[in-house]
Amino acid sequence: MLSRFQDRYQAGRVLAQHLEAYARRLDVLVLALPRGGVPVGFEVGRALQAPLDVFLVRKLGVPGHEELAMGAIAAGGARLINTDLVQALGISHEALESVIRNEERELARRERLYRRNSARLAVADRSIILVDDGLATGSTMRVAVTALREQRPLRIVVGVPISAPSACEELAADVDDIVCAVTPEPFHSVGLWYQDFSQTTDEEVRELLEIAAREQPERELAASRS
């Protein structure tokens, strides 16, 4: 069996090694999916000397079985619904919309909490590296890619430390580049591949974003000299 990552920070350092081609490029921006993707993205941004921001996406969990994704939504209104699963489970339109409304409220809450008074970093004409702590079905990342396309980035790259082989292969068709550091078979779940998969807190996300923002002027200076 492949060895597990110690935690999301160590996973981020491993992933950064696979993304070395994007290091010290002034057009690169790392966007992490909260909350678990932020520690990973923090290490990637630090290693590549690239700025870090969050891209807010929420999984739509099946009522009563919230760990099972029936779709996802992103800030800005993008939606991806697994209609086959919704129909197969007999989930009503009202139940689906109720889940969506709840997750939209959570997106708005996180937007206020994480950003405070700071604006989103510009995406247009930049090479974006979308980072999460892993891919299982890929539905959350897929809706993030869909929403991000509307902001006209130059290039979309997906980077994850661990992925189900099928999710990595299927998502590759939707992006300009994809880096899945490890694609074990059998996969089972993202959490299985971490020794510490404890929940990332809102405070940890906010703290990492603040540290990254403080370090960014030094990164830009180093990149301009390389």
Task: For residue 219, name the pLDDT band (cuts at 50, 70, 90).
Answer: low
DSSP for 28-63 reads EEEEEPTTTHHHHHHHHHHHHT--EEE--EEEEEET
Tell me the domain boundaries of the chain: 8-56+121-225
| pLDDT tens readout for residues 196-206 | 999 999 999 99
| pLDDT > 50? residue 159 | yes
* pLDDT on residue 119: 74
Task: Give the integer Cα–Cα distance in Å for 76 and 213.
Answer: 23
* pLDDT on residue 224: 47
The domain 8-56+121-225: what is its CATH number?
3.40.50.2020
Task: For residue 117, name the pLDDT band (cuts at 50, 70, 90).
Answer: low
Task: Give the integer Cα–Cα distance in Å for 29 and 17.
Answer: 16
Task: For residue 1, name the pLDDT band (cuts at 50, 70, 90).
Answer: low
- Of residues 111 and 125, more confidently modeled: 125
Strand 65-74 and strand 79-81: the pairing is antiparallel
For residue 94, what are its two tokens? Answer: 């009202």
Consecutive H or E run containing 177:
strand 177-182
- Of residues 32 and 108, more confidently modeled: 32
Task: Give the integer Cα–Cα distance in Å for 47 and 162.
Answer: 18
Task: Give the integer Cα–Cα distance in Å for 21 and 177.
Answer: 11
pTM for this prediction = 0.85
**Phi and psi, residue 19, nearest 5°:** -110, 20
* pLDDT on residue 140: 85
